Structure 1
Amino acid sequence: MLTDAQEIGRSLEVFLTAMVGLPRADAEKQHTFMEPGRTVGAYLPGERLVGTASSFTSWMVVPGGRKVPQAAVTDVGVLPTHTRRGLASALVRNQLEQCLARGEILASLRASEATIYERWGFGIASAVAAVEITVPQAQFRAGVPKGGDVRLIDLRERADQDLLARIYTGANWAGAIDRSSYWWRAKAHMRHLSQEHFYAVVHGIPGHEDGFAIYKPEDTTAWFRSKDRSIVVGDFVANTSRAHFGLIRYLLSIDLLQRVVLDPMPVDHSLEKLLTDERAVNTHAVRDETWLRLVDVQAALRARTYRAPGEAVLEVRDELLRENTGRYLISAQGVARTDRRPDITLDVSQLACAYLGGTRFWQLAQAGRIAVHDDGGLTRADHLFGLRRAPFSGTMF
């Protein structure tokens, strides 16, 4: 465990060197963006720090609405001179063992590579998309609610930064995660270092705000005479449907614009249904978002709700955290260990894919990634884990 501020700052340098092309923060401030007591490092005898992994104390909203404790894993990296030696595996194992000790039943991350984290029990639990709206075509259908008041705020002001953080605490959709003070501080710092200008609006009357959007202009080199002026909305948070309508109406009402790009957005956003011409909306660039790890399988399964009726028995295998290996009887009434014959056998990484409802068990079966012992049990499992909406986080870290 790294505790010294300089040592933690060096760990971020190791991560950035491993990643090659990410922007760098001010060296003197790097450690202030890391939560104390949550960074681990790998040293080789007689050498400097060569590998690191960190995390933040966090929660995740799981199906049913509970906010359960999780570790937001970040900054996993090994110097390119020391890869292929098992250092990353040792660091991640150490992290997961610490999660168990802290009572964090989940861990999640954003993956720079799509082929390495499954070996440690992580699976893709949610996806995001980019949504492009052609503004001149975007006319609202009659009857679409107006939403409420929207006002601009100043992202350079600490009070307005704190307002956004307060609004976000109301995030209530499956897959949403906590944004720690360290996350907000790092985002504000990176905006400060950027040459781009960011704008922010909040929805709702003062004291009762329930949503916000942060956006920036795209390609400003020829903005004055451009015929393709666009903004990119990089952070869109609506805790109520009223906020959703109000913020979308505002974004599409900004003068001069030809395009509004919202990225990231849920894959099942349905923005086109608001408009008379659905072709004004183009959804593209669908990609993985949440890589999830069930650290304590039984506690994680018990934390979420399931649709009635029916029950299914899942046999879970976990080579890294072997206490998770076993059979689980799942129904709307609860979750329990069992000796019954399993309907499905699967690795913990595949269970992570289905846990939030973003992937169906039949999809995993069709891909040969799980073993199905009973087709009826497969159908019941899909029903139990099903959600009305696709999971979505919307937070990059």
Structure 2
Amino acid sequence: MEEKITYARAKEILQNQKISPKGLERVFLYESLGRVLAKDIFASEDMPEVALSNMDGYALSSTMIGESKGVFKIFSENPAGNQESIELPLTKPYAIKTLTGAAMPKGADILVPFENTNINGEYLEVNEFPKIGEFIRKVGDNYKKGEKLLSQGTKLNAIHIGLLASLNQVFVEVFEKPKVGILVSGNEILEIGESKSNPNTLYNANGHLLYAKIKENGGNPKLYPILKDEKSSIQDCLKEALEECDLVVSTGGASVGDYDFIQAISKQWSDEVVFKGVRIKPGQHIIYAHFHQKQFFGLPGFPNSTLVTFELFVKEILGKLCGVLCRENILEVTLKEDVQKGDERLEFRVCNIRNEGGQFFIDFEGKKSFQSAILNNFCPLDDARMGLAVLEGNRLKGDRIPVIVLG
């Protein structure tokens, strides 16, 4: 077990974990939205299979331009979806009216858009000739047979669904969602919907925050009943969750107080703890373990600490279980104000990210303080994006600093 390690060392440990994703399942195309692709997708044929008109126009042969003196006889019409194989005669200057999406007639290599022509009875007068192949989609322009189109580990979005539909992919193989157990402990915690009779109680924000974050990141969350500060009941529930789930995340009880039983259980099962304590603010009391060959995180109980440590650490392991690589979105952004720090720990401070005239800046407007209990700091009242400013020391207005983009 490693204790009180640096953030860089904690990330290195998590990134080096050899964790296989869950098994595969085959789902209908629509049901694959938001799921993680389990196999590479390759094109089974060229797209398009034949050259297509990209505009409404007239198809003609470049070999007839000199002879035509800009005048072509309209030979026939070629609509999109035409079942007939159309061929352009090359005996004299002919043109075939060819609409958007129609296959280019055999022998034609130029498409003249409608707006570049005049019609005089059955004759076409061309005002301006385009280049050969212009306004024409060539065979395989979209993709060629055997071309890799999507990679295993891709989290599928609406655009991917459209691409898969173009490949006639009715069913899609995706990774199963890992089951993630959520344990919340504390005598002061009430479940939402309960009546508060004591002002010294709090509603279960952490449990439902984690439920949503796990679902948002591809897991299948299970929120267990709130646990009171009693070691044996917490241990029993932890064992049950480890049997039922692939990953267990607890919140609360990871500090060093008299009632921090996750810390006590970690000491009892110390051989299975990978690291305990990371020199960061907030969230220094985080625990990562392989309890009973299952993945486990003990997160601090303050809401800010819970959210930050989930973003920095839990997402890394959850991503591996889902089969997707976890890539932090980090920007170098300009500070709009001076920043003072209270201690030497690496700090992840919630901030506003604003785009001003194409340049990104960060500020701390509306942040009531940076205490670990103030979750509403992450809920802006304007259109700012949220981020975590990475602070190694005091910084000055105008400095460029790294920021982890949230959401």
TM-score calculated relative to the size of structure 2: 0.24
Higher Rg of the two aligned structures: 2
Q: TM-score, normalised by structure 1?
A: 0.24
- Structure having greater relative contact order (Cα 8 Å, sep ≥ 6): 1
Higher fraction of helix: 1
